[in-house]
Chains A and B, each alone.
Chain A
Amino acid sequence: MNRVDFGRRVLVLRHGRIAVRVEQRSVVVCAVLTLAIAVLAVVALMTGSYHLGPGQVVAALTGGETGLVHDIVVDWRLPRVAAALLFGAALGVSGAIFQSMLRNPLADPGIIGFTEGSYTGALIVILVVDGTYAQLVGGALAGGMATALGVYLLAYRQGVQGFRLIVVGIGASGMLASLNVWLILKAELEQAMAAAAWGAGSLNGVSWDQVVIGGACIAVLLPASGLLSRPMRQMELGDEAATSQGVRVPPVRLGLVVVGVALTATVTAASGPIVFVSLVAPQIARRLARTAGITLAPAALVGALLCLAADYIAQHVAPTPLPVGIITVILGGGYLGRLLFTEARRRL
């Protein structure tokens, strides 16, 4: 931000020895975002081939309804909404981590190949082993980590420079994408259709099992990212500055990479690659909260809201139900184009 910071209104929450200092504007933005998410979630739960009223939805969620309405809301529609929220938040945080670490708004796991690598790992599990969901998560995680490691090492030349890493990632992404196309091509048509629908990033097949397992992973990873967020902000000033402030840079960076890739891989395993949410969410969050750098909580909330909205569009607004990833890639790609047009040209 260009504005000079003359001291922003700050809230300090104290509980014994622990004190949390938060900016007032961030708190307000987060509250508004949460409200918007709640409204949109209720709307999403209402909409479908069997239309429900808002009262019925709230009653079903609080246990006031039984029978068909309860089944529709809790068993059919809620897993999807929960998945959109959880995965969106995970993607928002993952994007925020990479953008902060590489100090570049274009450093998106989808662009630098990590998502594509996760997809390759998961595809191999689907097509070769025909594995369970847990194996799928493992495959996606292994694929994403291996890609991250490969891209990092290839981009390393007396340190890693942001743009070099991005172009190396684009190369790796192209390679893995064509490998994925080939893997799909080798499969039977039915399996390939499923894999391709999943490859576009879809919440169609999401059931409570995946929400619970994916949610458990995310529930571990999000607090971990919260712990790392403070040194992460300090590292935005440069490694030397962070070191002088007492941050141990290498372990923190490793931790950030692991958490970031793991978040992306968890989502990819459950729903396929939902790209560009991780690119857009931190940027919108930063503009809304008017923070100097990337902040995690607003990014997570914006990610959840975007993902839910995109899934709503994909399911109910599009002429035929589409994978949510197609909506995010089209909208997010448009946003990336705008970003390139304004932001990148100013900086380069």
Chain B
Amino acid sequence: MTTLAPHRRGPGAVPVPGPRRRSIGLLAALVALLVLLVLSVLIGSTTIAPSVVWDALFHPSADIDQFAIRDYRLPRTVLGLVVGAALGVAGALIQALTRNPLADPGILGVHAGASFAVTVAVGLFGVRDIGGYLWFAFAGALIVTLTVLALGSTRQGRSPVVMVLAGVCVTAVLGGAREALQLTDAAAFDAMRSWNAGSIVGRPLELLWPILPFFAIALVLAFTVSGPLDAMALGDEVAVAQGVRLAPTRLLAIIALTLLAGGATAVAGPIGFVGLMVPHVARWIAGPDQRWIFAYSVLLAPILLLASDVLGRVAVHPSEIPVGVVTAFAGAPVLIALVRRKKASGL
């Protein structure tokens, strides 16, 4: 890949926030994230005193409340942090790649591809180990991404709405096939019932370790292609004129997207709409620079996911709402608001 000077916009084209505002915003997001991490460990169906939480983390003993913290709330919080960041960056990538403000790995069927592949792995091949079905998730995510990109491209370029419909179509078909597999096997059905809803509960932290290196690679890739993606936002011709090589950029972005969305789905099941909302908020705060959008997405998405998770614990106390349901309820109105805007294609 040729290295590119970061794309700079002419003065007055778009009001770009200054570096001060961006940095302060990033700091504020970091603080908010830390607060939510603490809240996520503190709040739950049983009330546990903060001192016990402290002891559980730093002076472990066999106390029952400490178990609740260490085996239940801590993994859940860490998962929310990592999965959230992955989903946020995946959303920012797919929106930049498709130049589609309605794009989201969930809406475009990437999650459905990954979860269908995981169901095939668990149901047909008897893979129970995440190191095994992770690869299935990657493959599923990749195939769907390529399919939806192909289906959503019209002769005049890419139409946001056709792409969304292509995603709906892929999601429906794969969802049907997945149900067919699950209905034939009651044990698999029960094991995957909560996974289908998209949840970060009851997953041991060990699930996360095999995925972390892939997420790291994907983040590096995302920041690598951020410059070319900025140029491509102005149109393919402009990007080519600026020396961007389209095919390698797209390829790297798709690989990063596959690793992030596939990995997140393999751990937490399909959690929709996070990738839709977060990049819009990031763009709103930081302006159109992809690097900043990625940086903000890394922080804002876990904030959204952890806040949704905490809300799901508090809302119907003592029962819980899976985080995927909460994010769908928060995110669907965003989709509706986006399409109600005058310029549905404005990104």
A residues near B, CB below 8 A?
A: 106, 110-111, 154-155, 157, 163-164, 166-168, 170-172, 174-175, 177-179, 181-182, 184-186, 189, 192-193, 196-197, 200, 275-276, 318, 320, 322-323, 325-326, 329-330, 332-334, 336-337, 340-341, 344-345, 348
Contact = CB atoms under 8 A, between A and B. Distances in A.
B190 A323 contact: no
Contacts of B168: 111, 170
Contacts of A345: 154-155, 159, 162
B169 A320 contact: no
Given A344-B159, A345-B155, 13 more contacts: A167-B164, A167-B339, A170-B335, A174-B332, A175-B328, A193-B189, A196-B183, A200-B179, A275-B172, A276-B172, A318-B180, A330-B177, A340-B166
B186 interface: yes
23 contacts: A106-B165, A157-B340, A164-B339, A170-B165, A174-B106, A174-B107, A174-B273, A175-B332, A178-B324, A179-B328, A181-B197, A181-B324, A182-B197, A193-B186, A276-B172, A325-B176, A326-B176, A333-B170, A333-B172, A336-B169, A337-B166, A340-B166, A348-B154
B52 interface: no
Interface residues of B, number: 51
A323 B164 CA distance: 27
B166 A334 contact: no
B161 interface: yes
A264 to B, nearest CB: 16
Nearest 7 interchain pairs by C-beta: A333-B173, A329-B176, A178-B328, A175-B332, A171-B335, A345-B154, A171-B332
A271 to B, nearest CB: 15
A316 to B, nearest CB: 15
A198 B297 CA distance: 39
A183 to B, nearest CB: 10
B3 interface: no
A189 B176 CA distance: 20
A166 B335 CA distance: 11
Interface in B267-281: 272-273
A12 B332 CA distance: 50
A157 to B, nearest CB: 6
Contact of A168 (B154, B331, B339): B339
* Most-contacted residue by chain B among A111, A179, A182 (CB, 10 A): A182
A171 B336 contact: yes
Q: Is chain A's interface secondary structure helix, strand, loop, or mixed overall?
A: helix
B48 interface: no
Contacts of B182: 196
A276 B169 CA distance: 10
Given A182-B325, A322-B180, A192 B193 contact: yes
Contacts of A172: 332, 336
Interface string B280-309: 000000000000000000000000000000
Nearest to A345: B154
A322 B175 CA distance: 14
Contacts of A325: 176
A96 to B, nearest CB: 19
Given A167-B335, A192-B193, A329 B164 contact: no
Interface string B10-52: 0000000000000000000000000000000000000000000
A304 to B, nearest CB: 21
Interface string B167-205: 011101101110110111010011001101110000000
